[in-house]
Chain A
Amino acid sequence: MALPEDVPVVPLRHWGRWVSGVVILALLVGLGSAMADAQILYEDVPGFFSADVMIDGLVNTVVLAVVAQAAAVVLGVVVALMRRSANPVARWVAWVYIWIFRGVPVLLQILLWYNLALVFKTISVPIPFTDAHLIDTPTNALITAFVAALLGLGLNESAYMAEIVRAGLNSVDPGQLEAAKAIGMTPATTLRRVVLPQAMRVIIPPTGNDFINMLKGTSMASVIGFLELIHAANNISSRNLEIMETLLAAAAWYMIVVSVASVGQYYLERAFGAADRVDRGLTPWSRVARSFRTPPTVRS
């Protein structure tokens, strides 16, 4: 049979894309008209969004989330190292620590810390064999709403971070440890120069995920009167009863902060993946731009 030449080629038509696009567009129009009819005073939202109390709440939310996450990362590394320690006591302590702080709901942990004064009037750490005290303060003075929220959120997160870090440490090829030993590296230098930099590729994505959770988890501190975004929104709506409007303003702030954190995570991952990819690949913007220009192709 002779092979025909120059026969026209008909590319595959992607009807599904057009159909689904139309359906989604219709749904969006419906939602839009519903929201337009809703009894929401949209014109008030921008004012709530930029109200002084809202900005205070925003700052407090971000500060609490960053400090709690930072403390959790440090504690998590320590607990993860303890779980991998040769010392059986350290391993056991780390296991129990994770068991407890991962087992109790964060909201409950925050409430426990905040109400500590009910059971301990003062917090004092005596220095052994002397009458002096390292700390000796009324509990109420020490455990403010911020401190209680920080302890609740930070300690809970540190248990999760410990597991994330442990997964990262486990992901490093044992041959790397041997290579470090063979050039006479001490265990501490090996951890800092060889293990952690390689573990970071595994540690960063779930940590970014957890930080985004942490940003929203700060809202639980509203129950103990800490002025974060939801508490700020409640402050405004308790005066004017515009509950939906103030909550929408708070939601907008959460979306913005989470978006910024996501972008930060993306670039952090790129930085630590340096050795893995000869070609660092495209940024999301250039990828979006490209998807409009050329049809998707199969990559090997």
Chain B
Amino acid sequence: MESTPLVRAHGVRKSYGRTEVLRGVDMTVEQGQVVCLLGPSGAGKSTFLRCINHLETVDAGQIWVDSKPVGFRLRGGKLHELREREAAAQRRAIGMVFQRFNLFPHRTAVQNVAEGPVHVQGVNRRQAHEQALALLDRVGLADKAGSYPRQLSGGQQQRVAIARALAMRPKLMLFDEPTSALDPELVGEVLEVMVDLAREGMTMIVVTHEVGFAREVADHVVFMVDGAVVETGPPSQVLDDPQQPRTRQFLAKVL
């Protein structure tokens, strides 16, 4: 049986002033798939990712997540723009992990993780705390529950950030260069958590420069240049036997 894809994007365009960052991006992500977005910096990978949970508004085209139009409500055959409060509700099903972690510095690790469940979903405090501790355990940080972000290493902070996103029980996880701000020796611990997550069947879209991770985990690799998708397919094809000269150039540089 063919199910509807979890994420469908078509013709997504976005400009900042005169610079066109996305020039009509199409993408489909099936339930449980891991998709890696690769490409040189300035290709629009992060911008596209941020459009998926409406951190950026698109100028043209549409993105549908879980059969709902992102940032809009379908009523009477028309798409009505959502208020910020309604857009917030829509984002709850989409977890996001940032390059610079963006943990709440005034709260401990466990408070960071429990923040969403308590203050967004209205889960009772004790239950949310228990769940937060379990999630910290899952990312290997059970002993850091009471630490403030500034007392943690970059890798630890990023793992807390992943736990914080998971606490909302998302259907989709977005990773925006999750290891780019880390010291090289800390990259592995974060990728490990992400690999586990992928194995458990989480649908993930990952903007990354970690070609090794893409090869090991991705079902699909999307190669973007200058705001457009240049090449797409399984990693064995895009990474090992690229058809497009731009893809080959890029891979020759990063490998």
What residues of chain B lie closer than 8 Å to A198, measured between beta carbons?
Answer: 105-106
Instruction: Report if B164 contacts A (CB, 8 A).
Output: yes
What residues of chain B lie closer than 8 Å to A276, measured between beta carbons?
Answer: 105, 150
Instruction: Report if B53 contacts A (CB, 8 A).
Output: yes
Whether B104 lies near A182 (C-beta < 8 A) is no
What residues of chain B lie closer than 8 Å to A187, measured between beta carbons?
Answer: 84-85, 88
Instruction: Report if B254 contacts A (CB, 8 A).
Output: no
What residues of chain B lie closer than 8 Å to A179, measured between beta carbons?
Answer: 98, 102-104, 161
What residues of chain A lie closer than 8 Å to B90, measured between beta carbons?
Answer: 184
Within 8 A of B (CB), among A271-296: 274-276, 278
Flag the segment in B15-23, B114-122, B131-139, B205-213 that touches A: B114-122
> Which of B95, B100, B116 is the one whose CB lies under 8 Å from A175?
B100
Q: How far is the CB of A172 from chain B (nearest CB, A)?
A: 10
What residues of chain A lie closer than 8 Å to B165, measured between beta carbons?
Answer: 182-183
> Which of B55, B105, B120 is the one whose CB lies under 8 Å from A189?
B120
Instruction: Report if B14 contacts A (CB, 8 A).
Output: no
Q: How many residues of A contact B (CB 8 A)?
A: 22
Instruction: Report if B96 contacts A (CB, 8 A).
Output: yes
> Which of B103, B105, B120, B151 is the one whose CB lies under 8 Å from A184?
B120
What residues of chain A lie closer than 8 Å to B98, measured between beta carbons?
Answer: 175, 178-179, 182
> Most chain-B CB neighbours within 10 Å: which of A175, A183, A189, A274?
A183
Within 8 A of A (CB), among B150-168: 150-151, 161, 164-165, 167-168
Whether A184 lies near B106 (C-beta < 8 A) is no
Q: How far is the CB of A211 from chain B (nearest CB, A)?
A: 23
Instruction: Report if A181 contacts B (CB, 8 A).
Output: yes
CA distance A119 to B116 in the complex (A): 54
Q: How far is the CB of B87 from chain A (nearest CB, A)?
A: 8
Can you list, as one digit per residue, whether each of B206-245 has a CB less than 8 Å from chain A (1) or not (0)? 0000000000000000000000000000000000000000
Instruction: Report if A185 contacts B (CB, 8 A).
Output: yes
A275 with B85: in contact, given A184-B91, A184-B168, A193-B119 (CB under 8 Å)?
A: no
CA distance A207 to B100 in the complex (A): 31
**What 9 A-B pairs have minimum CB-CB distances, sorted nearest first?**
A184-B92, A179-B102, A183-B116, A182-B96, A175-B102, A275-B106, A184-B91, A275-B148, A186-B88
Footprint of A on B, CB under 8 Å? 53, 55, 84-85, 88-92, 94-96, 98, 100, 102-107, 115-116, 119-120, 148-151, 161, 164-165, 167-168
Known: A173-B102, A181-B55, A186-B89; 13 extra A-B contacts, CB below 8 A, are A176-B104, A179-B104, A179-B161, A181-B88, A182-B91, A182-B98, A183-B165, A184-B120, A185-B119, A186-B88, A189-B119, A189-B120, A198-B105
Footprint of B on A, CB under 8 Å? 173, 175-176, 178-179, 181-189, 193-194, 197-198, 274-276, 278
